[in-house]
Amino acid sequence: MQNPEYDAVVVGAGPNGLSAAIALQQQGLRVLLIEGKATVGGGLRSAELTLPGYLHDICSAIHPLAAGSPFFQTLPLADHGLQFLHPTYAAAHPFDGGHAAVLSKDLGFTLSTLGKDAETYKKLIAPLLRDWPYIANDSLGPLHFPSHPFKMARFGLKALQPLTTLARRFKDPFARGLLAGMGAHAIQPLENIATSAIALVLTITGHLQGWPLPKGGSQQIADALAGYFISLGGEIVTNTYISRLEQLPPHRALLLDVTPKQLLEIAGHRFSSIYKWQLKKYRYGMGVFKIDWALSSPVPFINAACREAGTVHIGNTLGEIAQAERETAAGQHPERPFVLFAQQSETDPTRAPEGGHTAWAYCHVPNGSTKDMTAAIENQVERFAPGFRDTILARHTFNTEALENYNPNYIGGDINGGIIDIRQLFTRPALRRSPYRTSAKGIYVCSSSTPPGGGVHGMCGFYAAKCALSDIFNIKIPALAGVTR
């Protein structure tokens, strides 16, 4: 293509599209970022969903991976308005009877909540806390030979286990339940291989840096990324939904922050038959049903630590959580679902008028489910916070259909861009030498349907951009700074 108007075009301004655009623009290229909605952000948006003055995170809410992202840490996002706030405790996991296991930056405090398993937990986690600064890049990227193979092996031998297997080393319900809540973020049965990976990553980041939230809502992360991109000379166009390649201006490289379904719709005619076959076989996982509440007072959790935690995992024991995830994966709707609950206004008063509060929660449901899970979720919260219903002023709900309408990447309500099980952990979206390259020269995938998968970390976008820079522009960029090698 002679005299292209843009060096690169990025479609989709979620955290990965923004990251890809930044990594390209940092090399002095002319980059256009196109977003279908009126604002950038993808899963990073905030709005008054319930009552005036009550600011809710529409999708993602708490951001341990954003604060710990090897790529985001290299960017001057604070200069563009981003401020992370830290709850007293990263996460709490209440049990029937009033006790709660707590994930804290203070490892000693966490150990004090784990009963007889404190020493066993310390032996599991302490070596991983020491190793993480050396292996974070390797863990949050495509499959390759690690920089620190022995440290990576120590993590990998535990991470590849099913969560139910990893939990067998504990005797009391507290550590088992705490890890089950972490593992349930994988959105798949806890008996699946590698469900311990997400549990360990979230646990490690909780101890090392906490689980922060952005002041003023998740939209602030997207706005800071966009602000930095524009400061480098990048260009953003919103309200422009791309459904075919012919809509795009001339360019040398195209990076798509979309999942395989949209990728086929936009560019399928350019792909090889084998690559198209692989994309069609790509599997999406369970969906979510989400609720946002405007509240008249703080959530009255029985356990005091739960009242001070930014995130509360509601599911009781390992056995109960594992059963709920199995049933959901089998197409059922558990009576007692695992509930991921956040209470942002406890840490960030800007989220509600004086005296008011906000809360956010979702449970897993079968992909494409339109069943209303409001009662099931609120029953679970009420179980550990009696009187919660009396604090509700208003609520807003999203079923899987509404979520996909809001964000086309959430196919059937799958917020991870496809199930991240062992079959799609490193081969997402297809089995290729580089998962970011498509079979068409100059077209790349930079969404959460590539390694390392879902989460607000921007690493999918960074690695896709790195691949495009090498292939198309012959620009080799070094390993991310700030990580010990």
Q: What are phi and psi of 339, to 5 degrees?
A: -120, 125
pLDDT for position 1: 39
DSSP β-bridge partners for residue 254: 9, 443
SS (H, E, C) the chain: CCCCCEEEEEECCCHHHHHHHHHHHCCCCCEEEECCCCCCCCCCCEECCCCCCCCEECCCCCCHHHHHCCCHHHCCHHHHCCCEECCCEEEEEECCCCCEEEECCCHHHHHHCCHHHHHHHHHHHHHHHHHHHHHHHHHCCCCCCCCCHHHHHHHHHHHCCCHHHHHHHCCCHHHHHHHHHHHHHHCCCCCCCCHHHHHHHHHHHHHHHCCCEECCCCHHHHHHHHHHHHHCCCEEECCCCCCCHHHCCCEEEEEECCCHHHHHHHHHHHCCHHHHHHHHHCCCCCEEEEEEEEECCCCCCCCHHHHCEEEEEECCCHHHHHHHHHHHHCCCCCCCCCEEEECHHHCCHHHCCCCCEEEEEEEEECCCCCCCCHHHHHHHHHHHCCCHHHHEEEEEEECHHHHHHHCCCCHHHCCCCCCCCHHHCCCCCCCCCCCCECCCCCEEECCCCCCCCCCCCCHHHHHHHHHHHHHHHCCCCCCCCCCCC
pLDDT for position 482: 43
pLDDT confidence band for 3 (50 / 70 / 90): low
pLDDT for position 25: 98
For 233-277, what is each residue's pLDDT tens digit?
Answer: 999 999 999 999 999 999 999 999 999 999 999 999 999 999 999
Contact present, 20 and 10 (Cβ < 8 Å): yes
> Among the listed ranges 116-125, 390-399, 427-436, 463-472, which one has the minimum average pLDDT value?
427-436
For 213-239, what is each residue's pLDDT tens digit?
Answer: 999 999 999 999 999 999 999 999 999
Kindly report the average pLDDT of the chain as a whole number.
Answer: 95
pLDDT for position 68: 87
pLDDT confidence band for 293 (50 / 70 / 90): very high
Rg, the chain, Cα only:
21
Whether residue 87 has pLDDT greater than 90: yes
Whether residue 326 has pLDDT greater than 60: yes
Residues 9, 248: Cα–Cα separation, whole Å: 8
Place of tokens 């599991």: 124
Tell me the percentage of the chain whose pLDDT exceeds 90.
93
pLDDT for position 23: 98
Q: Which fold has domain 84-212+285-406?
A: Polyamine Oxidase; Chain A, domain 2 (3.90.660)
The residue ranges of every structural domain in the chain are 6-45+63-82+214-282+414-473, 84-212+285-406
Buried b (16+ CB within 10 A) or exposed e, 147-172: ebeebbebbbebbbbbbbebbeebee
Whether residue 9 has pLDDT greater than 70: yes
**Residue 306 token pair:** 């739960």
Contact present, 239 and 33 (Cβ < 8 Å): no
Place of tokens 């349907």: 449
**Residue 192 token pair:** 């699946």
**Residue 232 token pair:** 């480098």
**Residue 72 token pair:** 């985001």
DSSP β-bridge partners for residue 357: 295
Please give the C-alpha separations between residue 321 and each of 309, 313, 393, in angstroms, as whole numbers: 20, 10, 29
Alpha carbon 251 to its chain centroid, in Å, reads 30
Contact present, 156 and 293 (Cβ < 8 Å): no
Residues 289, 307: Cα–Cα separation, whole Å: 23
Contact present, 253 and 334 (Cβ < 8 Å): no
The residue-averaged pLDDT of 67-84 equals: 95
For 335-379, what is each residue's pLDDT tens digit?
Answer: 999 999 999 999 999 999 999 999 999 999 999 999 999 999 999
Whether residue 484 has pLDDT greater than 80: no
Largest distance between two CA atoms of the chain: 70
Characterize the bridge pairing of strands 287-295 and 213-214: unpaired
pLDDT for position 483: 39
Residues 222, 18: Cα–Cα separation, whole Å: 8
* Single-letter amino acid code for the residue at 439: S
Whether residue 393 has pLDDT greater than 70: yes
**Torsion sign across C-alpha atoms 417, 418, 420, 424:** negative
> Which of the following CATH numbers is that of domain 6-45+63-82+214-282+414-473: 3.50.50.60, 3.40.50.300, 1.10.10.10, 1.10.3720.10?
3.50.50.60
Residues 299, 383: Cα–Cα separation, whole Å: 12
pLDDT confidence band for 400 (50 / 70 / 90): very high
For 373-387, what is each residue's pLDDT tens digit?
Answer: 999 999 999 999 999
Alpha carbon 48 to its chain centroid, in Å, reads 22
